[in-house]
A = this chain, B = another copy of it.
């Protein structure tokens, strides 16, 4: 019940560790070298976050001594951690998820297949599509009501938001179609 809620960074770590255990340093490198730069690669963020996850029993760290360099601690996701990750992925998309930005949604989706299976990915996409339809509609409505009173730059910025959301919605169609195609292929083979 009253479990302390885990911030986005915690889930990012959980998602990365799930298929492949890694050290704090490895994770920092992933954040700094790949397009996951949205997350901080600073030790002051990563190490405390890993400690918190360990205290919650979601990951377990194993110290590897004497392997040449300084000791390193490799973390792996526990059964409880995997359950938490799945729960996070399976939560239906809310309007607030969309206003808060698509980064966390895409993170959930990116991890969904490995952590919870293709069925969970499809489920998440459908939930996202439903939420996006409502979101796009409300943005369009707000645009219609207000665009006449905005300066050009304000109006263009708003348009960018509306069209970006429309585009995102289109992407969900494409993603769902991709999964359908995959399912057909598998069906043929099996």
Residues of A within 8 A of B (CB): 34-35, 37-38, 96, 99-101, 103, 106-107, 109-114, 118, 121, 139, 142, 146, 151-154, 156-161, 163-164, 167-168, 171, 174-175, 178-179, 182
- Which B residues are CB-close (under 8 A) to A182? 152
CA of A109 to CA of B112, assembled, Å: 35
Closest 3 CB pairs of A and B: A113-B153, A110-B157, A113-B151
A-B contact pairs, 23 of them (CB 8 A): A34-B142, A34-B146, A35-B139, A35-B161, A106-B157, A109-B153, A110-B154, A110-B158, A112-B153, A113-B151, A113-B152, A113-B154, A114-B154, A118-B153, A152-B179, A156-B174, A156-B175, A160-B171, A160-B175, A163-B167, A163-B171, A164-B167, A167-B167
